[in-house]
Chain A
Amino acid sequence: MARYVTQRIIYMIITLFLIATATFFLMKLLPGTPFNLEDKLTAAQKAALYEEYGLNDPLPVQYANYIFGLVQGDMGISFQFDNRKVEDLIMSRIGPSAQLGFQSLVLGTLLGLILGLISALKRNTGYDYTSNVIAILGISIPSFVFAGLLQYTFGVKLGILPVSFWDSFKHTILPTIALAIFPLATVQRFLRTEMLEVLGSDYIELARAKGLKNSVVTYKHALRNALIPVITIMGPMVVGLMTGSLVIEKIFAIPGIGEQFVRSIQMNDYSMIMGTTMFFSVLFVVVILIVDLLYVVVDPRIRLTGGKE
């Protein structure tokens, strides 16, 4: 077990290094520069700025400098926000994104599981149809439409919830619902399909033949197995939700990380692009490792070490 985890961590470091390298060189292909007054600057002034930020060095030198800094935990200074450290900027914005992500993950997954179960157990009934319609709407309505609708209905027309901002718990309700609709729909669809398949399999027949109670069959034997694909999709979903949704953050004026990431790309804020990319990547590989380890817990058939020990 320990050996497996160590091995995985080494692979993770290699992966992260490759991501850093690819991002660095792709980013340098972006047209434009990080400086606002490009149009009005003289060549000389531009040269001075480039020199100052080390953009005049040959690419390999810039690359080596960057990787060296990264290893030491130094992500550099943001171009758009003078003198602010990238790591500080990321940490100051991850809070709201993580809270929003966590709330909508819990809400969306719970509701998704409930709807998925209902659908599977009451297949082809009114319950099933209703649940499916909710899931399909959730997948197909763009989140900016849904969020705008929520904002307008509850914020402007009814006036019972705040239109935007990130102040109290009350302020988190609308964005949480808006963001939860995606995990809800995804989990519902996966669980329904998987449950139907599992319920038709031989070992469920056997369990029933043994005379086990219906609830034990459903929850102990069927549900646990049906959860495996759900766990698989949960990994990327957790990262996606925790790192924020650009659209939701923008509409509800939430100071989160998702919007910052997109803006850093638009502004050619090189150090910020690298910083956020690396942050997301670390989060992603860690979550994937956790998901892999979770499989062992949920499904006795899966073994990590391939039985060599």
Chain B
Amino acid sequence: MKKTKWSLLLVLGLVLSMFLAACGGGDEGADDNQADDNNTGEQTDNNTDNEGNNNGGETGGDEEKVLRMTEAAEIPTMDPSLATDAVALNFIHATYEGLYRVAPGGELVSGIAKKDETEVSDDGLIWTFHLREDAKWSNGEPVTAHDFVYSWQRIIDPETKSQYGPYFFGGLVKNATEISATDDDGNPLYPDMYGKVEELGVKALDDYTLQVELINPAPYFGSFAAFPVFVPLNKDFVEAQGENFALEVENMLFNGPYVMTEWKHEESWTLVKNENYWDKANVGLDRIEVSVVKDRATAVNLFETGEIDRVGISGDFIDKYKTSPFFSTELEPVVFYLQFNRLSAEKADLMNNKNFRLALAQGFNKQDFIDVVYGNSSVPADGLVPADFVKHPETGEDWRDINGSLLASDIEAAQEAWAKAKEELGFDEVTISFISGDTETGKLITEFFKNEWEKNLPGLTLELKNVPFKERLRLQREQLFEVVFSGWGPDFLDPMTFMDLFVTDGSYNDGAYSNDQVDELITKAKTEYATDPNKRWEAMLEAEKIMMDEVAIGPVFQRARSFLTQPYVKNMKLNPFGPDYSFKYITIEK
């Protein structure tokens, strides 16, 4: 008996150790490799320190320019057609090149297409791009117009399941909607055309000429030409890889400034300069090393020990590092605002009263709001279009500088407007509902407004509804609220991405704002003035003034992000649209 027991223990022990060995085995091998890599890395760093000077962006310089950074998440996909999030867009933009490219500061510059040679027809509908003939894939094959045609057809193909493709091209590129749209049950809306990607309005006139046919003029089409989702793809390569395309380093083919050489999923990835890139001489870095670090404090500690060159910070860290020489704050073109529901079932008369809305829009301090709710470096917004986003096509002046502050916090003015509204509407006490998310931040937001408004606007009671994201969208779309807090980030580099939000029946116009004059100006900007940048801007500037004057919405703040950056990192600035960074231009100057 005793003997069997011990043999049983032995067997169990063996089973357990086999299990452990199976789990740990492969991993140890990987550890060794990694340790070696690390040593090499350290040695290179030492060389860099010793040698001092460098010679600008020249290749063949002695020191290796390495940027080390962290991301809070794994790259969800390296398939350009499927990318939706910031991390994927960032590294696809670093390794691929579309027709245009985003330069630091958000300027669009030539990519595979020569920007100065792009022709747009008089009606703004036909765009002809002339491609450079020296661009190559990382396997040496030339990049041609056919690669764009293939990629764009793939994006719009319902089989591909791209999210951004149909979203951006639908209603813009000829036949994009017909090829991809379905009804709510997934049945094709245009069965004759469904899936027929060859009907898409994009053609290769020859190997180096690409023609795109639009159904509406879109002066901002250049933004899509630079958006990482619309980069070319090598048909032979993609089809040869099949389902494995872009899953691992060996399943990818690049045409951008860098190539990915190592990708340890959810752990780290490495990019090195692409030797086959046509503009290799102007690529700023030799190597980019990215590690996944989800904990903010850990990332800051890594920055402190000099293991990474840049880190994003928020909350308490901002207070701690505010005076540090490494600290900087950059504005994002994301604006948050209050929408007032004019179709509210019970309170429509209130919500349609301009003084009532004005009192709400001005009756709190925007800076206090940022400090209380976010505690970051965001700035108050006094208009719809954010600052540091778009510049006048001729004068180069920032939109916000031209139109200035249109609807700022002013509690005294708010109280005056409140008194007038009471008189006009004949109420003394009123309750309105306010919806926001059920997250920690969502609750802080509603509590802030309840406090401030009830204090500043006597007689007002705010009924708070903190609901999950999906429910909030439903309440918003079905207009079951009086005030909602929402925000918008740009889809392309043009004021229109904000300006057409609040035209009559706009998809995101949840407050049902409607003004004939605004509608007319926006329509004109989209059609008549589409090819006249000056008039187009004037129309949009005018529309914003009218909207703010009428308190169409109550702008609250523009988001900003704070960073700690080593001084030797140059040109690493947030882009106003598309990918966060333009890695091609980032460089190290020690």
Residues in A with CB closer than 8 Å to B30 are 95
Verify B79–A48 contact, CB threshold 8 A. no
Q: Which residues of B contact A216 (CB under 8 A)?
A: none
B292 at the interface (CB under 8 A from A): yes
Instruction: Pick the residue among A81, A148, A290 that contacts B77 (CB under 8 A).
Output: A81
* Contact of A253 with B291 in the complex, beta carbons under 8 Å: yes
Q: Check if A44 sits within 8 Å of B298, measured CB to CB.
A: no
Convert A244-259 into 0s and 1s, putting 1 for each residue whose CB lies closer than 8 angstroms to a CB of B.
0000001111010001
Task: Write out the residue numbers on chain A whose beta carbons fall within 8 Å of the beta carbon of B468.
Answer: 31-32
Contact at B38–A168, with CB atoms within 8 Å? yes
Are A37 and B167 in contact, with the CB atoms below 8 A?
yes
CB–CB A102/B20 < 8 A:
yes
| Residues of chain B with a CB closer than 8 A to A51's CB | 182, 186
Q: Do A98 and B305 have beta carbons less than 8 Å apart?
A: no
Per the bound structure, the CA–CA distance linking A155 and B181 in Å amounts to 54
Say which residue of B247, B305, B470 sits within 8 Å of A31 (CB atoms): B470
Within the complex, what minimum Cβ distance (angstroms) separates A224 from chain B? 13
Binary A-proximity of B27-57 (CB < 8 A = 1, otherwise 0): 1001100110010000000000000000000
Give the chain A neighbours of B77 by CB distance below 8 A. 81-83
When the two chains form the complex, which single residue of B74, B265, B266, B291 contacts A165, counting CB atoms closer than 8 Å?
B291
Which residues of B259-283 are within 8 A (CB) of A?
Answer: 264-268
Q: Does A99 contact B35, Cβ atoms closer than 8 Å?
A: no
Question: Within the complex, what minimum Cβ distance (angstroms) separates B507 from chain A?
Answer: 8
**CB nearest to A170 among chain B residues:** B35
CA distance A37 to B85 in the complex (A): 9
Interface assignment of A167: CB less than 8 Å from any CB of chain B:
yes
Question: Taking the complex as formed, is B183 at the interface, i.e. its CB lies under 8 A from any CB of chain A?
Answer: yes
**A23: CB under 8 A from chain B?**
no
Interface string of A91-106 (1 = CB under 8 A from B): 0111110110010000
Mark out the residues of chain B between 145 and 160 whose CB falls within 8 Å of any chain A CB in the assembled complex.
158
Q: A95 near B166 (CB under 8 angstroms)?
A: no
Q: Which residues of A contact B186 (CB under 8 A)?
A: 47-48, 50-51, 56
Interface residue B571 (Cβ < 8 Å from any Cβ of A): no
Partner of A250, one of B183, B291, B295: B295
CB-CB < 8 A to A94: which residues of B?
23
Which of B5-13, B122-130, B410-418, B524-532 lines the interface with chain A?
B5-13
Cβ-based interface call for A166 (8 A): yes
Task: Flag if A98 contacts B24 (CB, 8 Å).
Answer: yes
The answer to whether B183 and A44 have CB atoms under 8 Å apart is yes
**What chain A residues lie within 8 Å of B295 (beta carbons)?**
250-251, 253
Interface size on B, as a range, is 35 or more
With known contacts A48-B161, A82-B77, A296-B5, A156–B304 Cβ distance under 8 A: yes
Contact partners of A38 in chain B: CB under 8 A: 470, 473
Do the beta carbons of A297 and B8 come within 8 Å of each other? yes
Chain B 453-475 interface residues, beta-carbon cutoff 8 Å to A:
468-471, 473
Are B302 and A164 touching (Cβ within 8 A)? yes
Q: How far is the CB of A56 from chain B (nearest CB, A)?
A: 6
Q: A163-B302, A165-B291 are in contact. Are A47 and B182 (CB under 8 A)?
A: yes
Q: Taking the nearest CB of chain B, how far is it from the CB of A129, in angstroms?
A: 33
Instruction: List chain B residues, Cβ under 8 A from A201.
Output: none
Bound Cα distance A260, B294 (Å): 11
Contacts of A31 in B (CB 8 A): 468-471
- The verdict on B184 contacting chain A, using a C-beta distance below 8 Å, is yes
Do A156 and B189 form a contact, CB below 8 Å, given A102-B20, A293-B8, A297-B9? no
Is A63 located at the chain interface by the 8 A CB criterion?
Answer: no
Q: Within the assembled complex, what's the spacing in Å between the Cα atoms of A84 and B251?
A: 13
With A80-B76, A156-B301, A167-B38 already in contact, the answer to whether A92 and B265 are too (CB < 8 A) is yes
CB distance from B318 to the nearest CB of A (A): 18
B10 to chain A: closest CB distance in Å?
10
Chain A residues near B5 (CB-CB < 8 A): 296-297
| A166-B267, A253-B292, A255-B266 known; A45-B163 Cβ under 8 A | yes
- B residues 71-122 touching A (CB-CB < 8 Å): 74, 76-77, 79, 82, 84-85
B85 engages A36 (CB within 8 Å) = yes
- The docked-state distance in angstroms from the alpha carbon of A305 to that of B85 is 57
Q: A42-85: which have CB < 8 Å to B?
A: 42-45, 47-52, 56, 80-84
B509 to chain A, nearest CB (A): 14
Over the window 173-185 of chain B, the binary record of Cβ atoms lying under 8 Å from chain A Cβ atoms (1 yes, 0 no) is: 0000000111111
Q: Does residue A14 face the partner (Cβ distance < 8 Å to B)?
A: no
The answer to whether B349 has its CB under 8 Å from any CB of chain A is no
B293 at the interface (CB under 8 A from A): yes
Please tell me if A159 contacts chain B, counting CB pairs below 8 Å: yes
In whole Å, how far is A233's beta carbon from the nearest beta carbon of chain B? 17
Bound form: Cα–Cα A216–B10 in Å: 24
Q: Within 8 Å of chain A (Cβ to Cβ): is B164?
A: yes
Distance A92 CA – B23 CA, assembled complex (angstroms): 10
When distances are taken between beta carbons in the complex, the residues of chain B under 8 Å from A82 are: 76-77, 79, 82
Which residues from 145 to 170 on chain A have a C-beta closer than 8 Å to any C-beta of chain B?
148, 151-152, 155-156, 159, 163-169
- Contacts A99-B27, A156-B301 aside, 5 further interface pairs with beta carbons under 8 A come to A56-B186, A92-B266, A102-B24, A242-B23, A251-B298
User: What 9 A-B pairs have minimum CB-CB distances, sorted nearest first?
Assistant: A95-B27, A98-B23, A51-B186, A255-B267, A47-B186, A82-B77, A36-B84, A253-B293, A168-B35
Chain B residues close to A by CB (< 8 Å) = 4-6, 8-9, 12, 15-16, 20, 23-24, 26-27, 30-31, 34-35, 38, 70, 74, 76-77, 79, 82, 84-85, 158, 161, 163-164, 166-167, 170, 180-186, 189, 243-244, 247, 264-268, 291-295, 297-298, 301-302, 304-305, 307, 468-471, 473
What would be 28 A-B contacts, judged by CB atoms less than 8 Å apart?
A31-B468, A43-B183, A45-B163, A47-B183, A48-B158, A48-B180, A48-B182, A51-B186, A81-B76, A84-B247, A92-B266, A94-B23, A95-B27, A148-B297, A152-B301, A156-B301, A163-B302, A163-B307, A164-B293, A164-B302, A167-B35, A168-B34, A242-B23, A252-B298, A253-B292, A255-B265, A290-B12, A293-B12
